[in-house]
Amino acid sequence: MRRRRLNLIIGIIVIIVAGCSIGIMLSLLISDNGRNGDIHITPSPADVAYDDKPEISPAVTPEPTITPTPTPEPTPTPSALASVEVKGLYLTANTAGNPSRLQHFIDLANRTEINAFVIDVKDDHGKVCYETQVPLAVKHGAWEKKYDVKEVIRKLHENNIKVIGRVVCFNDPYMPLKEPSLSLKNTNGEVFTAPVGNSRLAWLDPTNEKAWQYIIDIAKEAVSYGFDEIQFDYIRFPETTNYKYDMSYFQKEKSEYIDNFIKTAIEQMPNVTLSADIFGSICLQTKDVGGIGQTLETISERIHYISPMIYPSHFANNSNHYTGNGVGTKINGILFEKPDLEPYKVIYNTLIITKKRLEEAGIDVKVRPYLQGFTASYMPQGYYINYGVEQYKAQIKAVYDAGFSEWIFWNSGNNYVEDAFLPEQ
């Protein structure tokens, strides 16, 4: 009898232990699914653009509901690197996520004047480039882990390199299709889209405060991870010269909506340096020619930095090619028929006009231009030159001669002419 009772007790203990083990295993499995780690699969940009079909859940047991962690608030004090005079390069998220490539650029910064990198936070495909906790991005899978954000920033800060987070704002081929209420619309009420290459353009609505908050939440999270500055790109409406969309409900000037977005971002991130990329042509145009909601004066009123993209190849030449207008571009009273051939003069004269206009408007904004780090070989023969050491240095000299001290080079493949940069002092 005693042995039978002992066997019964042992049996009960075994059942309890087994039950606990199964519970722990299930808990771990659920936790792994909730983290959306390396198994997370995202569609290509082309898939996203044409994905207008409802999502069909697979015939499996549904995953548990995920409650996203609230977006962390920015640190209350400015970064120690916030005041660095930037001599920077743009790096893609893929470069940041490639340890050997990242180390190459760290080594470059350690031996030259380069002291800052601009890295994608939210990219041109509408995706946050690391594992995000922003609720709306989590809800729709609007992220892709291209780099370990904490590790990348740690490495760069250890080497005294300033890290600027590029946030592509309203141009977004992903989220408007997932959240139509946040998108610009066609006149028939459907989400505004337009074909661009193998993909399609879509646009978060710059008049919509919920769309503002989505972008600001991403920026705030980036700051919490240690980014020293947030650089807003595509902080504008689509060009009305190229695209048609519903504007019937607008109650303000487009520039007022953009200004209110900037004001809201500053209020929510009071100690964070904010910059904005703008077309180089905006420095020359006194009116909102493209209907994008920007003039030099309106975009500069509150933002801390502007980064006009003064790529000589992007100014119209006198050819009949799509890069030309048959005449050329007049800058500061000088007609440039082949702007790409004269990088110093184009940069210098554009910045002189920029400086004059800002001074006349009484606007105290810092100017940090984007410079051309690529050869525009897509242009007709005779209208472009190879951008090597001489052309890089000419652009940098033009910045200094115009009275400015900061610059960033852009090359989409991150293939920079490194011999152009001065040795570290």
**pLDDT tens for each residue of 44-90:** 222 222 222 222 223 333 333 334 445 455 444 556 777 789 999 99
Rounded to whole angstroms, the Cα distance separating 82 from 270 reads 13
In the chain, what is the straight-line distance between the N-terminal and C-terminal CA atoms, in Å? Answer: 89
Which of 308, 370, 381, 385 shows the shortest CA–CA distance to 340?
385
User: Which of 26 and 348 is assigned the larger pLDDT?
Assistant: 348
pLDDT for 248 equals 97
pLDDT for 196 equals 84
Question: Checking phi first, is residue 403 left (phi over 0); if not, alpha (psi -120 to 50) or beta?
Answer: left
pLDDT for 73 equals 52
pLDDT above 90: percentage of residues in the chain: 78
For helices 99-111 and 149-158, give the axis angle rounded to 10 degrees: 20
pLDDT for 199 equals 79
Rounded to whole angstroms, the Cα distance separating 75 from 226 reads 8
- Mean pLDDT of all residues in 344-363: 98
Q: What is the pLDDT of residues 379-412, one digit of tens each?
A: 999 999 999 999 999 999 999 999 999 999 999 9
- Mean pLDDT of all residues in 290-296: 96
pLDDT above 70: percentage of residues in the chain: 81
Task: Count Cα neighbours of 173 within 13 Å in the Cβ-side half-sphere.
Answer: 20
Q: Which domains are seen in the chain, by residue range?
A: 86-420 (3.20.20.80)
Average the pLDDT over each of 12-16, 49-53, 219-223, 269-273 and give the range with the smallest value.
49-53
pLDDT for 246 equals 97
For helices 254-268 and 209-225, give the axis angle rounded to 10 degrees: 40
Residue 423 has pLDDT above 80, yes or no: yes
DSSP line for 152-210: HHHHHHHTT-EEEEEEE-SB-SSHHHH-GGGB-B-TTSSBPEEEETTEEEEBB-TT-HH
